[in-house]
Structure 1
Amino acid sequence: MSDLPFLQLKPNAKGRVLLGHPWVFGNELTELAGSEFDGEVLECRDRRGKRLGVGIYNSQSQIAWRRLDGGPAPLNERYLRHAAQAALTRREALGSRSTYRRLIWSEADGMPGVVVDQFGDTLVMQVQTLAFERWKDVLADILIELTGAREVIHRDDASIRRFEGLPHEVRTRSGRDWEPRWATIDGFDYWLDLMSGQKTGFYLDQREQHARVAAWVAELARRGGGKPRVLDAFCNQGAFALQAARAGAGEVLGLDSAGDAIAQARLNAERNDVADTCRFAEANVFDWFSANRSEKWDVIVLDPPPFAKSKKALDGAMRGYKELNLRALQSLNAGGLLATYTCSHHMQDAELRQVVAGAAADARRRVHIVEYCHQPADHPVLVTMPESEYLRGYVLRVD
């Protein structure tokens, strides 16, 4: 045993940490350590005193302890450098050499509560744990050194930070504002506003799916001899729409409830010379389907925000996902395709299959799965942590 202060599981605790999960909740412990240990590294032991590992502690959070990788070493510059280098090596080993990628994915990369996305020579970092908050400037310097990036934007404006007692802020490493600019991602130009755009500025986790849907649009155009009509629901900056237009769609409509996203999507369409094919409208997608029941499409993309932001919200979220998929299935031409996604980690494979099956039954459509979809390799999934896998979906053929 080390000389570190330690936490201990209750005698009757059956926490997932015993099966390798990296979290321990406060109500699973015999007692909390004092607040003077918030943000520090503590041991955790099972009810018999067996060491479960070392991790970061915060008495203010429901997740009181989060395991760190490796042995009893403290959280310091050496740990950060090792974890950052391992994350880069992990991605390169899987073939991810793009400069537009996720570099750090929280517990899956040994840095609980840290997310870092790379946009060319700029890194966007989000920190959601007190321990790593204290080390984020050191981590920024290490990542600059390892990647050759020129700037780090700290996007610490997520509401979840309040659960760790952390303030909101947005700033750059250099202290200078990062001016919005054009960036080329997968052959398309996008106007990026990394200091105030949604999340870290662009949904890098859907890049593979943008290309896959475009490939299906091209296949429909080839086999059908016509130009498919495509609906991109919850379109955000219009990436699905742009790629579908270039792949041979005859008409693409993008819908989003955020006016700034629609304005940006239109700008992107003009920049990429597909404005004649793509049009965009600010709309509530549920209401739009209700008001446009006669509209028929050859391809529909459903990429909504997470409806289930907590486990308690799952039942209501499943009803919402089912209704959304039902309306889409009712709006597809025979032989059409539905690409449907969920980005809530509470919606596991079984729940998503249940939602899609229920929608197909209610729509009285014969539906086949033609492709399973999930997050890309630069968003690694920790097999003992279901929460690290959050993006899943299907491409469905509808008869």
Structure 2
Amino acid sequence: MKLTLKKESRRARVRTGHPWVFINELENIPDPKFDGQALPLEDARGRHLGMGIVNTQSQIAWRRYSTGHDAWNREFFEKAIMAAEQNRDEEPFRRLIWSEADDLPGLVVDQFDEVLVVQALTKAIDEALPVIIELLQERLSPREVLLRNDAPARKKEGLEIYARTLSGEPLKPFWAEIYNVQYYLDLEGAQKTGFYLDQRQEHFKVATLAPDWRVLDAFCNQGAFALNCAIAGAREVVAIDSSQEALEQGRRNAEKNEVEIQFLKENVFDYFSNNREERFDMIILDPPSFAPNRRSLQGAAKGYKELHVRAFNCLNPGGILATYCCSHHVTRSLFREIIEEAASDTRRKIQIMYETGQPLDHPVIMNFPESEYLKGFVLRVLR
């Protein structure tokens, strides 16, 4: 069987390189028996547009993995895994496979030294997991594989939610050194795949600006920014999060690294409102996504602006704001516009020191804006 785009789908993004086709863009809806399998896609004129995995239970009915005619099998998986590994630096902590960016739609693999954390977010990947895990074991010889198949996105594919190790034994938390900082990693109990590897380089880079400064790490989670700043010689570091569990882990990390950090259980917006006289030399804003879907974009924009207004009001002249957004619905241009409006409202003169985004092991694919979610600006408040 092959799938065909509707004649009126002349502007379908798949024509210009986007890897997704929504179910309402198809002329012929496949039989559900093909869910989890691979089928070719053609346009109305019969031109081949690639091979993709199918799931009629999802709004994204077809996801391209090849522009050719490659079969969805062990040989293809091995080739894709090898290519992904070759495109990464040989770090012990890295994202090894990043879904469509590595031609394996729905597969995420994070490597934490001898432990692999695997997420299967599509039906086809879920069904191929035994073969994929076998290939990963052959290439990397991990001591354990943790299946973090508890992401809400699995529900859209009609998949069950669970988290377990391949061995069936609990994965005990362990200490690991990432960019010269010791972290207590609870990969089975923490958010997503256990640690935000996409920010590991930025944790270190921002901290080089922090010596002798008073620093606020807002939405600190495990305290990665705070820890790096404290180790780099910050005069004082305050770290805020609303999760008691995250704060306890942050305190454990601080004790292990022999640094002083004040961890506070607070809503960040409330903290700024209740501490209007507080002043910092550096503020780091790295919140969770305010826009999980397009419908929430307007409210998210208001939230991001208010957050930046409050942060600018608490920065000393000459201070630095390092701010990040992890929602792909908020584009880089929109995020910059929000920051500019906040700067205008607070009458602060702002200089862009540098822009940042995803590290090389989280590659962004041209013509696939959904692959770009992380963007950031490091700004100096001149006055």
What TM-score, normalized to structure 1?
A: 0.94
Partner of 2:299: 316
Asked if residue 204 in structure 1 is aligned to residue 197 in structure 2, the reply is yes
Q: 1:39 aligns with which of 19, 24, 36?
A: 36
Match of 1:112, SS?
coil
Alpha-carbon shift at residue 70 of structure 1 (Å): 5.2
Match of 2:238, SS?
strand
Partner of 1:395: 378
Q: 1:231 aligns with which of 216, 226, 235?
A: 216
Partner of 2:2: 6
Asked if residue 243 in structure 1 is aligned to residue 232 in structure 2, the reply is no
Q: AA paired with 1:18?
A: R
Q: AA paired with 2:250?
A: A
Q: 2:146 aligns with which of 149, 153, 157?
A: 153
Asked if residue 23 in structure 1 is aligned to residue 8 in structure 2, the reply is no
Alpha-carbon shift at residue 71 of structure 1 (Å): 2.6
Partner of 1:221: none
Return the alpha-carbon distance in structure 2 between the equivalents of residues 137 and 317 of structure 1: 39
Partner of 1:255: 240
Return the alpha-carbon distance in structure 2 between the equivalents of residues 19 and 66 of structure 1: 14
Return the alpha-carbon distance in structure 2 between the equivalents of residues 194 and 98 of structure 1: 18
Q: AA paired with 1:170?
A: A
Return the alpha-carbon distance in structure 1 between the equivalents of residues 184 and 238 of structure 2: 19
The alignment of Structure 1 onto Structure 2 pairs a total of residues equal to 381
Asked if residue 327 in structure 1 is aligned to residue 310 in structure 2, the reply is yes
The within-5 A match list for 1:128-167 is 128-167=121-160
Q: 2:253 aligns with which of 268, 282, 288?
A: 268
Conserved? CA contact 1:66–1:112, under 8 Å: yes
Asked if residue 359 in structure 1 is aligned to residue 342 in structure 2, the reply is yes
Alpha-carbon shift at residue 73 of structure 1 (Å): 2.5
Partner of 1:307: 290
The runs of 5 or more residues in structure 1 that have no matched partner are 219-226
Match of 2:309, SS?
helix
Return the alpha-carbon distance in structure 2 between the equivalents of residues 315 and 216 of structure 1: 33
Q: 1:381 aligns with which of 349, 359, 364?
A: 364
Alpha-carbon shift at residue 74 of structure 1 (Å): 2.0
CA distances 1:55-105 after superposition (whole Å, capped 9, x unpaired): 0000000100000125322211111111000000111xxxx1111000000
Partner of 1:224: none
Moved over 4 A (4+): none
Return the alpha-carbon distance in structure 1 between the equivalents of residues 235 and 86 of structure 2: 42
Return the alpha-carbon distance in structure 1 between the equivalents of residues 25 and 38 of structure 2: 18
Conserved? CA contact 1:7–1:29, under 8 Å: yes
Partner of 1:125: 118
Q: 1:54 aligns with which of 51, 54, 69?
A: 51
Q: AA paired with 1:149?
A: P
Return the alpha-carbon distance in structure 2 between the equivalents of residues 353 and 235 of structure 1: 22
Return the alpha-carbon distance in structure 2 between the equivalents of residues 151 and 75 of structure 1: 26
The runs of 5 or more residues in structure 2 that have no matched partner are none
Partner of 2:81: 84
Conserved? CA contact 1:22–1:385, under 8 Å: yes
Conserved? CA contact 2:208–2:232, under 8 Å: yes
Partner of 1:223: none
Partner of 1:222: none
**Overall identity of the aligned pairs, in %:** 51
Q: AA paired with 1:195?
A: E
Conserved? CA contact 2:49–2:67, under 8 Å: no
Return the alpha-carbon distance in structure 2 between the equivalents of residues 33 and 356 of structure 1: 45
Conserved? CA contact 1:144–1:151, under 8 Å: no
Return the alpha-carbon distance in structure 2 between the equivalents of residues 198 and 282 of structure 1: 18
Q: 1:108 aligns with which of 96, 101, 108?
A: 101
Return the alpha-carbon distance in structure 1 between the equivalents of residues 296 and 43 of structure 2: 31
The within-5 A match list for 1:173-212 is 173-212=166-205
Q: AA paired with 1:52?
A: L
Q: AA paired with 2:20?
A: W
Asked if residue 345 in structure 1 is aligned to residue 328 in structure 2, the reply is yes
Partner of 1:72: 69
Two-structure CA RMSD over aligned residues (Å): 0.9
